[in-house]
Chain A
Amino acid sequence: MNLWELLASLVNDHTVRTVALGTAGLGAVSGVLGAFAVLRRQSLLGDALSHAALPGVALAYMLTASKTPLVLMLGAGFTGFLAIGLFFIITRHTRIKEDASLGIVLSTFFGVGLLLLTYLQRNPDARQAGLNSFLFGQAAALLTRDLVTIAIFGGLALLVVFILWKEFKLLSFDRDFGSSLGFPMPGLDLLLTSLLVVVIVLGLQAVGVVLMSAMIVAPGAAARQWTDDLARMALLAAFFGALAGVSGALISSLGSGLSTGPVIVLCASAIVLVSLLLAPNRGLAWNAWRNWRSRSRLRGEAVLLDLYRMGAQHEDALQPHPVSALEAVSGARATQRSLQNLLARGLVQPGKNNWWALTEQGLAEAQRMEAALAADRDEQ
């Protein structure tokens, strides 16, 4: 199958289309809320909350004997809130730090969920409720009605974010200032975290408990590299989340044995990697190039000054000097390359046998630099 056929299956193949739409929607919504989570240093809260949803799924099934996704999601949301409550109680009232209380909430809620689910599975009817589908997600089993659920709840979550944009921005960047303006910060905090719970519960079906946290963190962390503006960051995160969702769905439709959840996570991770390397102003490759450029510029300036100072000891300031003399004076590496750079800027001119001299323009530039250095010294 070539790339074109793969993309065409997005339109023609009903299953692929449904799955891709579902994962794209999920990716977009979790990207927006993940952007806030990343900024608020709550990346791992998503991990804990998604694990805490498991006992809720089991409880909902025990109480209602229904496998309707909406009922199971309500249960998951309920235990998600319990988990948040426990997390806040532990971190606010004891000296146990955030990481440990996250670890406790995550692992013990998951343990309770596992206990309940295996207890339920003694009853053969419950077996189809499928522990597996909640652990790793079953995006391939997404139906049209799941799309509707995702669209409604995801849309509502985005609407709340849109309406309370200014308040959530305050919450993320300067909570104390927000309080002083009279905004109910604890309530807003709870609301934003609740939206996170909603998104995680939505995503459980597709990506699963174990990997849902990556859908929260990765798009937000990638988007952070490209911009310093919250609105752009949220939009970018939504785009990255949707991109990871669609490409994950497509790639996993290619082969057997490729569960959608892990493939989506790997796609999201690839987006993060590219962003970390290439993003302008922050990216590692960008930084390396900028460092290299400023280093070669500095080396060039050193050579120019050396040439000027050597020339100042002669009658003629434009007296040529051999490269070997320059190398001996500066001790700097890559003198030849620096000279070529200076030549390109018209500051030096070559003579015979690799002797070099300042041009009039270079002389003026060197005098300006020397004066600036002297001024610096005077200030000190």
Chain B
Amino acid sequence: MSSAQIEIQLIGLVVAAACALPGVFLVLRGMAMMSDAISHTVLLGIVLGFMVLGDLESPWLIIAAAAMGLITVSLIELLNNTKLVKQDAAIGLVFPALFSLAVILISRFARGVHLDNDAVLLGELAFAPFNRILLFGVSLPHSLVVMGVILLVNIAFIALFYKELKLATFDAGLAMALGFSPALIHYGLMALVSVTAVGAFDAVGSIMVVAFMVAPGAAAYLLTDRLDRMLLYAVLIGAAGTLGGYWMAHWLDANIAGSMSTIIGLLFVLCLLFAPRRGLLAIAARRRRQKWEFAQTMLAIHLLHHEGTAEAGVENRLEHLHDHLRWEPGFARGVVRRAREGGLISQSNGSLLLTAQGRQLAEQNLEG
């Protein structure tokens, strides 16, 4: 690996971690699409900042862009509060307008500088190592330093306000009753998302920022019920997607950010399928098991009901289950076999007899 390759992967890892952390809260709070809106409109902040400052390297640009992110959030809320449009429409109205304005401003007034629409949407991580700055005598890629600082800010914010964030996310009413301001926490989080989006879109482009923020958090949400673990898993999934994506892009000679979000998407689909308890396969298996368990309980109750009565000889036979319980013959055989293996019933001369265990199950369920 050349040093440029190592640096690109390092930048990718830092971006992934910096995005995944606030992303977890976006997913939990149902505001994931805010990241889409913000990552587009920060462009307007950068363009306006550039027109005022005339300098693309100024750190003030990050502030201007992040401010535009917060303005976007406020505009969406303002529009939402008029009750004239619903929240999804408010998002869908505000950010395309601001983004269009930015695109037109760029093509009218900022042509020729390094600020073109493709780079903004798609990012070009491959060029990141060429833009370097000197920090304490060490030459480092510009994006690595910027994203490193942003990552530290994110970690610090979440560590300092962990309790408040958790409370405001899971029980906004209680948070308010205890005297925390949900609005303050909301805007703090949105400021974090804005700053992160500004820093990250330079490297991976505004649309992939959404992949880095939302997909790891959502995948982690399928894996665990604990917030601290969710944060950890999200960072790990983002990191794995970054490294895997880098090497796939290397192999295919294709866009790095696109490749990274492809792998992150694949990791999400893997979690969707195979997550223990919440994955699609686990859900299907649970439904299947419940179906058989329910049928065995039905069988036990049926047997108990007719046990010791005159018609028991007719009712409590395998062939009769079809008439009485409307079970297909194949299904009935399956239920009887499972019940016998589970020690709920025994079979003699074609008659089904409850064991003590089976009788207990039936009685328990009847008592309800």
Contacts and interface: CB of A to CB of B under 8 A. Distances in A.
B262 A47 contact: no
Interface in B205-255: 207-211, 213-215, 217-218, 221-222, 248-249, 252-255
A95 interface: yes
A51 B36 CA distance: 12
Given A104-B265, A135-B117, A218-B93, A111 B100 contact: no
Interface string B102-143: 011001100100000110011000000000000000000000
Contacts of B264: 108, 111
Contacts of A283: 84
B73 to A, nearest CB: 14
B201 to A, nearest CB: 12
Interface in B239-284: 248-249, 252-255, 257-262, 264-265, 268, 272, 278, 280, 283
Given A104-B265, A108-B264, A257-B111, A115 B249 contact: yes
A99 B92 contact: no
B192 to A, nearest CB: 17
A211 interface: yes
Interface stretch (A160-168, A230-238, A261-269, A298-306): A261-269
Contacts of A213: 92, 96
B278 A111 contact: no
A100 B27 contact: yes
B252 A107 contact: no
Given A102-B32, A119-B254, A214 B222 contact: no
Contact of B92 (A117, A135, A216, A257): A216
Given A100-B214, A214-B92, A108 B100 contact: no
A319 B215 CA distance: 77
Contact of B103 (A93, A108, A114, A262): A262
Given A51-B207, A97-B30, A104 B215 contact: yes
Contacts of B89: 38, 41, 43, 217, 220-221
Contacts of A36: none
Contacts of A131: 118
B32 A103 contact: yes
Nearest to B94: A269
A142 interface: no
A107 B211 contact: yes
A95 B49 CA distance: 40
Given A104-B265, A135-B117, A259 B104 contact: yes
B91 interface: yes
A97 B210 CA distance: 15
Contact of A107 (B26, B207, B278): B207
A42 to B, nearest CB: 7
B156 interface: no
A366 to B, nearest CB: 37
A136 B254 contact: no
B88 interface: yes
Contacts of A114: 122, 208, 254-255, 257-258, 261
Contacts of B103: 136, 259, 262
Interface string A87-121: 00110011111111111101111111111111100
B36 A47 contact: yes
A142 B99 CA distance: 23
B85 A266 contact: no
Contact of A113 (B27, B35, B249, B258): B258
A226 to B, nearest CB: 11
B82 interface: yes
A202 interface: no
Given A99-B33, A106-B210, A135 B118 contact: yes
B97 interface: yes
B285 interface: no
B96 A104 contact: no
A122 B99 CA distance: 30
B305 interface: no
Contacts of B222: 94, 96
Contacts of B217: 100
Contact of A211 (B27, B91, B100, B252): B100
Interface in A180-237: 210-211, 213-214, 216-218, 220-221, 224-225
B232 to A, nearest CB: 18
A276 interface: yes
A89 B280 CA distance: 9
A211 B100 CA distance: 8
A96 B258 CA distance: 23
Contacts of A214: 92-93, 96-97, 100
Given A106-B210, A136-B103, 18 more contacts: A41-B86, A96-B221, A99-B31, A99-B33, A100-B214, A100-B221, A103-B210, A103-B214, A103-B218, A107-B208, A109-B265, A110-B208, A135-B121, A216-B92, A258-B108, A276-B82, A276-B85, A284-B82
28 contacts: A38-B89, A42-B88, A43-B86, A43-B92, A44-B92, A51-B207, A89-B280, A93-B280, A96-B221, A99-B30, A99-B32, A100-B214, A103-B33, A107-B208, A108-B262, A135-B121, A136-B103, A210-B96, A210-B207, A214-B96, A217-B89, A217-B92, A221-B85, A221-B89, A225-B84, A263-B100, A265-B97, A283-B84
Q: Which 10 A-B pairs have the closest CB atoms?
A: A108-B265, A111-B261, A114-B258, A107-B211, A214-B96, A262-B100, A103-B214, A217-B92, A269-B97, A107-B210
